């Protein structure tokens, strides 16, 4: 985005097109981690029947404290979907939600992620990557969390320090990490998140359901038609314009570059 602003390039996105798709993926990952689904599936698929091993790391999500870093269109959708599970719901966001929404879903607001994570059994990351969030979940932040907590990250891989995540899973500070995003993408074959224990990684598919693809195809068509017809692009689709953050981009991002190191993706080979 910094490069686009410097060159006066307009950047757009089809905002909201896959927000619910991602939110559903987050809920799936929370349940998958807490209920120890993937190891249990592997036991059954391999012909086994060791129920004791399956349930040795399995818990109910009911009564757990679930917190989201950011409560925008995805984060709030996650909170709404977790509410029926009778969880305690927490969030932090630089744009606080309305009192009506907080009351409706019994949300507990925290000024920062640092303030929130000590209270949570599960932390789901739903904020954009920018200089303020780059490597937010490093050793220091992870060690502020409850021992044995879980992280779900469908936002951006670089919000988490990859080595800190892998180390926390090995030493038990984290009980599980489910991620749909990596840094870089595609990740090298020896990326530690491919082999670390208690992981539930997917290859950035959360927002690419067939349902979502139909919505973002329609949005791309609208953006291009407006661009070529000289009509304004709606604010909720704008990220940068006129050499600066614009529209939803100005609401969600801060200035600066957080993409250093992307060149490592060239190491990936199919």
In the annotation, is 226 catalytic? no
Taking CA atoms, 69 is separated from 8, 124, 127, 147, in Å, by 31, 6, 6, 18
Q: Which of 18, 126, 153, 173 is catalytic?
A: 18
Give 112: exposed, middle or buried? Use CB within 10 Å, 0-12, 13-18, 19+: exposed
Q: Which helix (H) or strand (E) holds 178?
A: strand 174-179
In the annotation, is 185 catalytic? yes
- Angle, helices 19-34 vs 37-45, to 10°: value is 70
Q: Which helix (H) or strand (E) holds 223?
A: helix 210-228
Q: Which of 65, 73, 130, 156 is catalytic?
A: 156
Dihedral of the alpha carbons of 42, 26, 93, 80, in degrees to the nearest 10: -130
Q: How many CB atoms lie within 10 A of CB 204?
A: 17
Evaluate whether 49 touches 43 at the Cβ level (below 8 Å). Answer: yes
Q: Which of 35, 57, 135, 204 is catalytic?
A: 204
In the annotation, is 7 catalytic? no
- Six token digits for residue 256: 């600066």
| pLDDT digits (tens), the chain, 270 positions | 889 999 999 999 998 899 999 999 999 999 999 999 999 999 999 999 999 999 999 999 999 999 999 999 999 999 999 999 999 999 999 999 999 999 999 999 999 999 999 999 999 999 999 999 999 999 999 999 999 999 999 999 999 999 999 999 999 999 999 999 999 999 999 999 999 999 999 999 999 999 999 999 999 999 999 999 999 999 999 999 999 999 988 888 877 777 777 676 666 665
State the pTM of this model.
0.91
In the annotation, is 156 catalytic? yes
Q: Which of 57, 81, 135, 185 is catalytic?
A: 185
């Amino acid at each position: 985005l910094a490069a686009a602003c410097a060159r006066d390039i307009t950047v757009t996105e089809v905002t909201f097109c896959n927000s619910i798709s991602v939110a559903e993926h987050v809920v799936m990952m929370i349940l998958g981690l807490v209920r120890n689904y993937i190891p249990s599936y592997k036991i059954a698929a391999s012909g086994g029947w060791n129920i004791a091993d399956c349930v040795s790391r399995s818990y109910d999500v009911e009564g757990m404290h679930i917190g989201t870093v950011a409560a925008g269109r995805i984060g709030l959708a996650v909170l709404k979907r977790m509410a029926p599970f009778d969880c305690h719901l927490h969030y932090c966001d630089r744009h606080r939600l309305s009192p009506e929404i907080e009351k409706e879903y019994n949300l507990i607001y925290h000024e920062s992620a640092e303030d929130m994570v000590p209270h949570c059994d599960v932390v789901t990351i739903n904020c954009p990557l920018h200089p303020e969030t780059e490597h937010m979940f490093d050793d220091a932040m992870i060690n502020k969390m409850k021992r044995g907590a879980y992280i779900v990250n469908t936002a951006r891989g670089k919000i988490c320090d990859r080595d800190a995540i892998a180390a926390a899973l090995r030493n038990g500070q984290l009980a599980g990490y489910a991620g749909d995003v990596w840094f870089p993408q595609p990740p090298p074959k020896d990326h530690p998140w491919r082999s670390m224990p208690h992981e539930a990684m997917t290859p950035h598919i959360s927002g690419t359901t067939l349902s979502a693809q139909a919505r973002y195809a329609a949005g791309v068509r609208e953006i291009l038609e407006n661009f070529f017809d000289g009509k304004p692009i709606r604010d909720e689709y704008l990220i940068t314009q006129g050499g600066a953050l614009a529209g939803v981009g100005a609401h969600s991002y801060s200035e600066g570059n957080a993409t250093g190191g992307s060149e490592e993706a060239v190491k990936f080979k199919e």
